[in-house]
Amino acid sequence: MKNGVIVINGKLGRLLEGFESEGIVADPEVDGRQLTGRYIKYNGDIGVNGKGTLLLSAEKNRSLL
């Protein structure tokens, strides 16, 4: 992932290597749309010097907290 934002509101089966956790964000805005809830924010893919963002539902991915 070199750029962009991916939002996953379900449970993630496996997080790929190359993403670094940036912590928890509440009610993030993505492309002008306001999301509600808490999300785990990851940046990456560091393997390709990427500047992408991955937002995972914190409620459905508690094992990653």
DSSP β-ladder status, 5-8 and 33-34: unpaired
* Mean pLDDT within 25-31: 97
Mean of the per-residue pLDDT values of the chain = 94
Give 34's strand partners.
29
Is the pTM higher than 0.85?
yes
For residue 22, give its domain range. 5-64
pLDDT on residue 40: 98
3-class DSSP state for residue 47?
Answer: helix
The separation between CA 27 and the C-alpha centre of its own chain, rounded to angstroms, equals 13
Tally of domains within the chain = 1
Secondary structure percentages of the chain, helix, strand, coil, to 5: 10, 45, 45
